[in-house]
Each structure stands twice: as structure tokens, then as C-alpha cells.
Structure 1
């Protein structure tokens, strides 16, 4: 049981690390689109291998396309947008905000999806406890990002537009999760659904690279840098490992525990990255008010998933 608790902490930490290493990869390849393309391609290859090892046919029967809604195939598109936005936000806002703002968007969109049963998700109405928990999440988000209490943190909050984009990214990520969840039901395999999502995203990004004529020769710089900083290549693996890990853990310990424990790992490591400038990111010292905000946000998320 202890191992089952440690695993979601590790994959949550992996999400924080993924954004940091992908941001560094972007510096070497010179384009957020190329960095996203590399990350999605590595993640797709990893999930293809997992799908084959699980004895699932990676090909999709034609009647699956004919008898299901078109939107079940766009999870990868939403993932591409969300990942690229994170790459743009990380250098400007730091690790904590790049984690917290999309998370806030995910919580809000998750409540909307549950309320109206969007994407064929089971309906779950908004209760007083959920409302109060969401309020805690909102207060924690405002405190941890410096949107309130900036006279205590010393922050100069001139990044409102970027912060709103971060929240919008979270809305897309929650939609992607719901879409991939339904795709997993259709394909009878969460791993297969994740593979399709990553593969669609990778193909879309390669097409975008060709259309925009993004220079590929910059990857030579990344290859040279990768000899010293090998970790710049692991972003796609960490993203795919998160998707696979959640799919495997939910039947073991339940959705609520997976979400909350994973969040703990993500927030903890995002704080460490900002505080110490890990993975060659810029140092962004974490104030007491930010830590309090993260704790408040964590309590709110726990309330949404554990209290009815």
C-alpha cells in the first residue's frame, strides 16, 4: 500500500519536471513547437510500446470512426495546445504558477463537465461542499500566484494575461481528460486511448512544423547539449508515464486518492523547482504566503474529491 501511495507522488512530481525540462529543451531547439513535437513524439512511441506489450491491437476498426462522435479524436489536439502554452508560460511565470493556474482551470472545467455530463461523463451535481471546496481552491490559487496578497509577497503582478491563458490551458486539459476517458471506454483500453491521443498530437505537430517551416537544424544543438544534460529528452516519457500511471492506479486505489496524491507530488516538486532553480530554471524564491496558498488549494481539491 505504501508503494501505491509513493507512485502517484512520483508521477505528480514528473508533471512538474516535464514542464521544466521541456522548457529547457525549447531553449536549445529554438521553438516551443519543436519542443512540443519532440515531447509528443517520445511520449507516443513509449505508449505504442506499452500498448503492444499489453496485447492490444494499436489499429482502430473503421466502424469505430463511423459509430462514435467526432470529438473523441481531438484529445491530442487539446493536449498539444496545453503543453505548448505551458512551455510559453514557464519562463515567464515560474514552476508554481505554471502548475497551479492550469490546475485551477482543470478543477473549474471538471465541475462543469460533472454538472452537465459533458463528453458523456456521468452527471454529478454541484453540492454545497463542492462549492465551498472550489472556493478554497480559488483562494489558494490567488494566494499562490500572487494575484492577491502581492503586498506580502513582493510580487509585481503584470502577468494577468498570461495567468488567464494558463487557466484556459487547464480548461483544455480537463476536457482532454474527459474525452480520453470516453475514448478509453470505446477502445476498451485506457493505454490505447492515451496512445491515440499522443499519436494524434505528434502527427499534428509535425504537420505544423512543416507548414510553419520551423528550422529542424536547431535540434543538432539540443543533441549536443543532451550529451551533458541528458534529462532534456525525458519530458515526453514523463507525460506518457503520467497518463499510463493514472490509468493503472485508479482501479487500485480510486480516482480521488490518485488525483489528490498526484497533486501533492506536483505542487511539492513545483515549489522545489522554483525555490532552488532546478533543471537550470530561474530561481523564484517561495514566500510563506505562497506556501499557505498551495496548502489551501490542496485542501480544496481534497474536499472536492473526498467530501460529498
Structure 2
């Protein structure tokens, strides 16, 4: 029987596998709707339309938004803005870069931000120093980005 760590890793891999499909679908939606921001709005509206019935089915209690706003840090509301940035960037950039190069670049950006967040214990995360191994892992991702971009250039030429 797999342990919880491998189950979580598998779930994260499946979630990650959805990213290039999301970028492709949203890019096509943006072309069909005539503007990338329409695709961003529709994509996020579909997310809400899917989340609400699931929340109702699981009887998720309605939270106190006022309490969260009054007691939480200011940045708790920035996740939605980050979602808009990501979805819009994906539908604009993925078709130009290719799915693999876009995803490698996204992972590189996520790793840089994650190392900074962990190192300083930002956004409620436990502080975890940026070890040599973690920085080396980031270096490998950067090498992967360079190789995928080089492969795109070699193929296009």
C-alpha cells in the first residue's frame, strides 16, 4: 500500500498534468471570444460554477468573510489576482512558446517564488532555509527551460 507521501505526489502530478490542457483550452477560448480577458473571465466563472455544486454536495459551511477580512493579513485576497495573472499569461504565452516550454517556465517561476517564500517563512509557511540541494534543483529546472527553449528554436529554424 502506498504511503501518504506518494499519494500526495501522485495527486500533485495529476493536478500538474491539467495545466497544459488548461492553457490550450483557454488560448482557443480567447481566440474564439476575441480577447484573452474574456477567456480569463469565462475560465474563472466555470471554476466557480463547478466549485459551488461540490461545496453544496459536501455541505461546506458558509464562512464569515467579514471575520477573515478583519483578522487576516491583507494578502489573503491576492490568490484570485494571481489566478487571473496565471490564466491570462497561460492563454497568451503557451500557444507562442509551446506547452512544454511554457510549463517549464511556470515551474521555474514557481520554484523561485517557493524558495523565497520557504526561506523567509512568508505567507504563513513554516520557515525552511534554501538549502544547496533545493537551489541545485532550481538550477536543473533552469537548465530544462534553456534546453526546451533551445529545442523550440532549433525546430523552428
Report the TM-score when normalising by structure 2: 0.77
- Counterpart in 2 of 1:172? 18
Matching residue of 2:47: 201
SS of equivalent to 1:284: coil
Q: For residue 240 of structure 1, what is the aligned residue in structure 2?
A: 84
In 1: Cα distance, 2:79 partner to 2:138 partner: 24
Q: What is the match of residue 163 of structure 1?
A: 9
How many residue pairs match? The answer is 146
Deviations 1:190-226 (A, max 9, x none): 2211211101101221222222221113434312223
Structure 1 residues 175, 245: CA separation in 2 closer, same or farther (over 3 Å shift)? closer
| 1:277 maps to 2:140 | no
Higher relative contact order (CA 8 A, sep 6+): 1
Task: Say if 2:27 and 2:91, in contact at 8 Å, map to a contact too.
Answer: no
Out of 213, 222, 233, the position equivalent to 2:59 is: 213
Q: Which sections of structure 1, spanning at least 5 residues, go unmatched? A: 1-156
4+ long deviations beyond 3 Å: 217-221, 245-248, 258-265
In the alignment, is the contact (CA less than 8 A) between 1:275 and 1:283 conserved in 2? yes
Unmatched runs of 5 consecutive residues or more in structure 2: none
Report the aligned-residue RMSD: 2.7
**Distance in 1, Cα, partners of 2:55 & 2:66:** 16
Aligned-residue offset at 1:291: 1.2
Residues 41-91 of structure 1 show CA distances to partners (whole Å, capped at 9, x for unaligned) of: xxxxxxxxxxxxxxxxxxxxxxxxxxxxxxxxxxxxxxxxxxxxxxxxxxx
- Report if aligned partners of 1:275, 1:285 keep a CA contact under 8 Å in 2: yes
Shift of 1:275: 1.2
Residues 219, 213 of structure 1: alpha-carbon distance in 2 compared, 3 angstrom cutoff: farther
